[in-house]
Structure 1
Amino acid sequence: MTYTALLFLALAMSTDAFAAAIAKGAALRKPTFPQALRIGLLFGCIETITPVIGWALGSLAADAIRQWDHWIAFVLLLGLGGRMIWLSFGEDEEEEAAGSQKLVVLVLTAVATSIDAMAVGVGLAFVDVSIVHAALAIGVSTTVMVTIGVLLGQRLGAVVGRNAERVGGVVLILVGTTILIEHLSA
Structure 2
Amino acid sequence: MDWATPLMLGQFIAIFIMAVALGLDALSLGIGIGMKGIRKLDILKLSVVIALFHMLMPLLGMFMGSYVSSLLGGIATKAGGALLLLLGVHMVYSSLKGEETRSIDHRTLWGITLFALSVSIDSFSVGVSLGMFAGDMALTVVMFGTVGGMMSIIGLLLGSKMGRWIGEYGEAMGGVILLAFGLHFLL
Q: How many residues align?
A: 178
Structure 1 residues 136 and 83, CA gap change in structure 2 (3 angstroms): same
Runs of 4+ aligned residues of structure 1 deviating over 6 Å after TM superposition are none
Distance 1:123 1:105 in 2: 29
Distance 2:62 2:182 in 1: 23
Q: What is the aligned partner in structure 1 of residue 150 from structure 2?
A: 144
CA contact 1:75–1:176 (8 Å) conserved in 2: yes
CA contact 1:80–1:105 (8 Å) conserved in 2: no
Q: Could you tell me how far 1:92 is from its partner in structure 2?
A: 4.3
Q: Please say if 1:127 is aligned against 2:133.
A: yes
Q: What is the aligned partner in structure 1 of residue 11 from structure 2?
A: 2
Distance 2:17 2:11 in 1: 10
Distance 2:109 2:11 in 1: 36
SS in structure 2 at match of 1:20: helix
- CA-based RMSD of the aligned residues comes to 2.1
Q: Could you tell me how far 1:102 is from its partner in structure 2?
A: 4.8
1:173 to 138, 163, 179: 179
Q: What is the aligned partner in structure 2 of residue 84 from structure 1?
A: 91
Q: What is the aligned partner in structure 1 of residue 46 from structure 2?
A: 39
CA contact 2:163–2:170 (8 Å) conserved in 1: yes
Structure 1 residues 177 and 102, CA gap change in structure 2 (3 angstroms): farther
Distance 2:146 2:12 in 1: 14
Q: What is the aligned partner in structure 1 of residue 24 from structure 2?
A: 15
Q: Could you tell me how far 1:100 is from its partner in structure 2?
A: 7.9
Which amino acid is the alignment partner of residue 25 of structure 1?
G
Percent sequence identity is: 26
Distance 1:177 1:2 in 2: 31
CA contact 1:87–1:95 (8 Å) conserved in 2: yes
Q: Could you tell me how far 1:12 is from its partner in structure 2?
A: 1.5
Q: What is the aligned partner in structure 2 of residue 51 from structure 1?
A: 58
TM-score, scaled relative to structure 2: 0.86
Q: What is the aligned partner in structure 2 of residue 184 from structure 1?
A: none
Q: Residues 100-156 of structure 1, C-alpha deviation per residue, up to 9 Å, x if partnerless? A: 885423322221221211111011112221222201110011111101110100111
Distance 1:99 1:74 in 2: 20
Structure 1 residues 148 and 67, CA gap change in structure 2 (3 angstroms): closer
Distance 2:96 2:77 in 1: 29
Gaps of 5+ in 2: 1-9
Structure 1 residues 94 and 82, CA gap change in structure 2 (3 angstroms): closer
Q: Please say if 1:108 is aligned against 2:117.
A: no
**What is the correspondence of 1:61-100 to structure 2 with a 5 Å cutoff?**
61-92=68-99, 95=102
SS in structure 1 at match of 2:133: coil
Structure 1 residues 164 and 33, CA gap change in structure 2 (3 angstroms): same
